[in-house]
Amino acid sequence: MNAATGSRAGRARRAFAVIVLAAASAACLAQSAPSLPSYRARADDVSVSGISSGAYMAIQFGTAFSAQVTGVGATAGGPYYCAATDASKDFNLRRVIRRCMQGDPAYGKDPITNDWMQKLYTATQNFAAAGKIDKLDNLKRQKIWLFHGYNDGIVKQPVMDRLYEYYSHYVPPQQIFYKSGLNAGHAQISASCASQSGACNTCPTTGGNFINQCQDRPAALGTYDAVGAMLQHIYGALHPPAAPGGQIVAFRQDEFTRSNRGHDYPGLISMSDTGYAYVPAHCSTNAGCRVHIAFHGCMQSADALDDFFYRNAGYNEWADQNAIIVLYPQTTAKLPSVVTPLNPMGCWDWWGYNDLFDSEGRYATKAGLQVAAVKAMLDRLTQGGPAAPAAAPLPAFGTPAGFAAADANHTQIALRWQGVTGAAGYILQRSTQPGGPYATAISTTATQWVDRGLQAGQTYYYILQAKAADGTRSAPSAELSRATGPAPPPCDPYFSLAANRPVTRNNLPTSATCD
């Protein structure tokens, strides 16, 4: 061995020793956080949501465990398994960014073609057939809520449109609501942090803490509550939000992480030592609460923002009033080493950075290292919890109560109501004039409906009836009206990942946004 070779070997040994010592130190620090308790929550009615890489992760988790997950919310994400093995097998992350994000001019843009969508459907079916994800029939019962702002230059609109198409392949379209008419940048949209106090960004902003406050459209509707809209689309009408009175619980994530090297140190799979959960006071002493898993985006972990995301993203106010435990699993940013993946922005693994040399796309399945870790956290929260509770008795057959327009986009209106005993279905009628005539009749057995294909800026009027098996109908409801929002303006935003700022299509700095 020559001197140069010996010197390199010595440096490598010293570098490895530093990594091992850092891992041991981090493991000791993790010991200071308590273990995650079991709150005996319900395991049968779990929901998930996320922003950006967190949206991709929510989609992966909801697809892998569709037998347990009843609803998914995704802000600025793309179709399940969009990256396939392009990065993990072919080492081509550039191709993944071009296809599954499309917003950085330095990388260019490749459309998600129909052929690629067929590959994603085939992969999904093959994963299910092999037992790597739950059976696809479970997806039919999921409620899907999607959000994309037209100032988002990181994950572009065509990517999100393909996500809508992907879900429409498996989920009845009337269960998918897609909000795409607000002037939001790439961000978690929160009604609980006030932009005027500097706590969160104005709606068109992309950057900073990536948490924005937006006005709904029409503006008379006020501040848009994305989390409230999402949770009520999934669960139905909930109690209104209030100031959180529960507790943020920090817990050891290293108890739930595992790597393909057999270690428990969470940094090996780019997860933090500590995770967090919001536990309403009711749930700390009573079994049977629901669980919602909220996945932050890149550069939004507690390592980057301290407590800002898990306190200000908009979940806790709704959770507190509706007996929902919110789990906030955490990533950590990692530069590559002999034992850690390349993840400098602390993103969730939606392209396979934990699966190098693995051609099977494990990251998107139940065996995915991060997916499995979060599932273990969920299992702890629900350990000893009750079986599915008996359904609450429905009101006697008659006009359904609680008929409301939950949300609207420029082409959709989301409607919901309460069921009644003896109803074989419900008849929803629509008109463009108050009082009718009601030219469109929709028959459904569900207690919600996303009315689609509507005109922008148009007011629609609805009445609802319950229908018995013998054809008997209840008296119609009072007429309900809701206007669709305006169509979004033409907008073509871009964002430089390297410079971490909005740019033009020619990769020049810009502060311009679409109104």
Length in residues, the chain = 515
Q: Closest Cα partner for 26 from 253, 230, 239, 249?
A: 253
133-136 LR contacts (CB < 8 Å, sep 24+):
133/63, 133/64, 133/65, 133/66, 133/365, 133/366, 134/63, 134/64, 134/65, 134/66, 134/67, 134/68, 134/366, 135/66, 135/67, 136/66, 136/170
Contact criterion met (CB below 8 Å) for 310 and 281: no
Three-state DSSP state, 277: strand
Q: 148, 186, 292, 410: which one is catalytic?
A: 186
Residues with Cβ within 8 Å of 169's Cβ and at least 6 positions away in sequence, in order, are 121
Instruction: Name the residue among 244, 397, 394, 386 with its Cα closest to residue 307.
Output: 244
Q: Position of tokens 């609207």? A: 408
Q: If you count DSSP H runs as helices and E runs as strands, how many of each does the chain have, helices first?
A: 11, 20
Q: What is the Cα 32 distance to its own chain's centre? A: 30
Whose CA is closest to 319, among 294, 296, 295?
294
- Torsion on CA atoms 444, 445, 449, 453, rounded to nearest 10: -20
- In the residue annotation, 474 being an active-site residue is answered as no
152 is known as an active-site residue: yes
The structure tokens 């669960």 sit at: 235
Give the residue from 311, 75, 329 showing the smallest Cα distance to 199.
Answer: 311
Residue of 45, 47, 49, 52 with catalytic role = 52
Answer whether 119's CB lies under 8 Å from 84's CB.
yes
Rounded distance, CA 191 to CA 186, Å? 16
**Residue located via tokens 């206007």:** 483
Concerning whether 52 is annotated as a catalytic residue, the answer is yes
Calpha distance 277→250 (Å, rounded): 7
Considering the candidates 86, 152, 254, 320, report the single residue annotated as catalytic: 152
Q: Which positions are catalytic?
A: 52, 152, 186
